[in-house]
């Protein structure tokens, strides 16, 4: 990645021992399912970079130094870098505020409408993308700070990856970030095998090559009384299209404490009751809304119900080895 001439000049100045170098780190966490982007820094002031680095642009965005507290002296971040194909790791300790000292609001740091630690323990950071950038200053920023934050001489990306683990207690969250090489460990080789069932996920890459989309088949619903975090009772649940069943489909909550969370449906009773694979993190309130889409069991007959046989990813007509001839 490119380094600005101003940053190169600053490095040369420090090497010549004629100047100073001040470094702070900016963190960009992109939540899964388009649930938002978090930007914060380990400084005591806001930082507003003007240069773009890495795969996530940081120019023009403000990285707050007054919200989430990062890198306490008693629990410094740990970074593991190694030459080769081993996965690098970055361990980050974050302490959200329990109260806003200006407004007096309790637990002001939130993910959506949910307090930070509560959302973290409920899985809000699952598979989130992470980028860590270093912001360099030739001198300590002075007060009053410019609107939007102090501008560094230059920035450099030092880590990119995904959230691997999140551990929480009453005051802090400890994140373990794995670089993108960790994804290689999850890919089976060979990538594709001859099999009767389809290899694609419904509405995913391959399946949607002809424009098949979840939005076309999704229905809107309302959570009814008696629903739990694992079993949702819909109010006049609409009839599913496509496969004609919500089994193996998906549900996304669109209002209430669970807003933005997705779950896979394991069972639908054919009427108004659905069961999800993993319970939702927060209790439902009657009237919460959701979007629900039908499922697919990866069979050719089901693919025909979606009128999508041109993209079927299985090979159901290959005879088993026992009946093949040489």
Query: What is the model's pLDDT at position 7?
Result: 63
Is 320 inside a domain boundary? no
Instruction: Let me know whether 20 and 166 are in one domain.
Output: yes
Lowest mean pLDDT among 5-19, 195-209, 299-313: 5-19
Residue 114 lies in a domain: yes
Same structural domain, 115 and 14: yes
- In this structure, are 53 and 111 located in the same domain? yes
* Average per-residue pLDDT for the chain: 85
The tokens describing 174, both together, are 């400890």
Based on the fold, state whether residues 128 and 264 are members of the same structural domain.
no
pLDDT band at 80 (very low <50, low <70, confident <90, very high): low
As a whole number, mean pLDDT of residues 186-203 equals 80
Average pLDDT (209-220) is 91
User: What percent of the chain lies above the pLDDT cut of 90?
Assistant: 42
Q: What is the CATH number of the domain that holds 269?
A: 2.40.10.170
Residues 221 and 140 grouped into a single domain: no
Residues 70 and 143 in one domain: yes
Q: Is the pLDDT of residue 87 over 50?
A: yes
pLDDT, residue 123, reads: 84
Q: How confident is the model at residue 16 (pLDDT cuts 50, 70, 90)?
A: low
Task: Identify whether residues 51 and 99 lie together within a single domain.
Answer: yes
* Digit-coded pLDDT (tens) for 266-314: 999 999 999 999 999 899 999 999 999 999 999 999 999 999 999 999 9
Position 1 confidence tier, pLDDT thresholds 50, 70, 90: very low
* 172 and 83 within one domain: yes
The answer as to whether 157 is a domain residue is yes
**Mean of pLDDT values over 129-138:** 89
The verdict on residue 200 lying in a domain is no
| 166 lies in the same domain as 227 | no
Domain that holds residue 92: 5-186
Answer yes or no: do 221 and 280 share one domain: yes
Mean pLDDT along residues 16-24: 70
Number of domains in the chain: 2
């Amino acid at each position: 990645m490119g380094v600005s001439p101003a940053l190169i000049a600053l490095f040369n100045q420090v090497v010549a021992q004629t100047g100073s170098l001040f470094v702070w780190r900016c963190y960009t966490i992109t939540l899964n399912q388009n649930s938002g982007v978090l930007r914060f820094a380990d400084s005591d002031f806001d930082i507003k970079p003007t240069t773009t680095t890495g795969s996530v642009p940081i120019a023009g965005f403000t990285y707050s130094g007054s919200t989430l507290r990062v890198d306490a002296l008693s629990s410094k971040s740990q970074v593991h870098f190694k030459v080769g194909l081993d996965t690098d790791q970055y361990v980050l300790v974050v302490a959200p505020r329990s109260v806003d000292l200006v407004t007096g609001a309790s637990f002001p740091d939130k993910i959506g409408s949910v307090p930070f630690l509560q959302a973290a323990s409920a899985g809000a950071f699952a598979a989130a993308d992470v980028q860590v950038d270093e912001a360099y200053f030739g001198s300590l920023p002075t007060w009053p700070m410019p609107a939007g934050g102090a501008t560094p001489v230059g920035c450099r990306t030092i880590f990119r990856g995904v959230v691997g683990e999140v551990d929480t207690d009453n005051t802090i969250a400890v994140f373990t970030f794995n670089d993108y090489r960790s994804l290689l460990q999850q890919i089976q080789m060979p990538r594709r095998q001859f099999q009767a069932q389809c290899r694609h996920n419904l509405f995913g890459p391959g399946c949607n090559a002809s424009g098949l989309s979840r939005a076309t088949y999704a229905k809107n619903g309302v959570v009814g009384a008696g629903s739990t975090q694992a079993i949702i009772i819909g109010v006049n649940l609409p009839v599913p299209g496509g496969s004609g069943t919500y089994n193996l489909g998906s549900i996304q909550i669109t209002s209430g404490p669970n807003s933005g969370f997705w779950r896979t449906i394991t069972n639908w009773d054919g009427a108004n009751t659905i069961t999800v694979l993993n319970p939702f993190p927060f209790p439902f309130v009657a009237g919460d809304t959701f979007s629900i889409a039908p499922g697919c069991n990866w069979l050719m007959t089901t693919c025909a119900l979606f009128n999508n046989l041109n993209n079927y990813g299985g090979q159901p007509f290959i005879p088993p080895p026992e009946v093949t001839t040489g």
